[in-house]
Structure 1
Amino acid sequence: MKCVICGKEFSASAHARRKPKYCSAACKQKAYELRKKIGAKPDVKRARKKVTVPVSSGVDAELDKDTFERMRDGALIDTLRFNRDVLQQALGNPDTPASALAAISKQLIDVCKQIEDLEADDGDMLPASEELNDDAILTDLI
Structure 2
Amino acid sequence: MKKTTNAKRPPPDEVLAFMLGSDEYGIDMQRVQEIRGFTAFAQEAHELDLDGGVANLRGIRVPIVDMRKRFSLGSPVFDESTSVIVLNIDGRTMGVVVDGISDVHRIDPKRVTPPPRARGGLKNDYLIGLGTFGPHSVTLLAIDEVLATAA
Give the TM-score band, short-chain normalised. Answer: under 0.3
TM-score (norm 1): 0.23
Report the structure number with the largest CA radius of gyration: 1
Superposition TM-score, scaled by structure 2 size: 0.22
Whose RCO is larger (CA < 8 A, sep 6+)? Answer: 2
Structure with the bigger percentage of strand = 2
| Structure showing the higher helix proportion among its residues | 1
